[in-house]
Amino acid sequence: MSADKKVKAAEKGQPGVVAGESLDSVRNILFGAQMRDIEKKFSRLESRVAKELSEFSDEMGKRMDSLEQHFKKEVEALTVALRGEQKAHEEHVKASTQRFAEIEQSAAQHSDDSASALREIRAQILDQSKSLRDEINQKSDKLTAALDQEAEDLREGKVDRSELGSLLTELGMHLCSEKGSEDGSKPE
């Protein structure tokens, strides 16, 4: 039985028609399309946010990998350079015993500089990783806030259950009063 036929049958008081079915039919007629539209919008929004988060995560992973590779190459280059310098210093020590003390001081200085340079590089790596982490957190917070706002907008667009109940109660009372006026009796 179609929704219109159920409503008409309920108005006429025909047996076999349940009032709940009539209310469900009226509810579906009044708000069904709107609810399906809201559900579709919410589903699209969820999939879009999930896709953007996934793309963002992939991009950040690639950036972190690239940054890590860059720093590994830099550290390797510095290590090779330092080893070359140490070898050159050792050859100088062997070649000139009279400058032994000076070369030893120079090697110690280079070692301190190397350690200082490594500390600076480590500090830069730490600072850059913290900055990338902060950027990731900020973008994640922005996406979460946007998702929360969209969800709130969708919730605000929904019909309140109590308002819907009141509207359907008034509709039922109106239908009862019309039925009573058609029968010639007074509405209660």
pLDDT per residue rounded down to tens, the chain (188 residues)? 554 555 455 555 554 455 668 888 887 888 888 888 999 999 999 999 999 999 999 999 999 999 999 989 999 998 999 888 888 878 877 777 777 778 788 878 888 888 888 889 999 998 998 998 998 889 888 888 888 887 777 777 676 778 878 888 988 998 888 877 776 655 45
Return the domain boundaries, the chain: 3-157
From residue 84, alpha-carbon distances to 52, 77, 80, 120, 125 in Å are: 48, 11, 6, 21, 24
Q: What is the pTM of this model?
A: 0.29
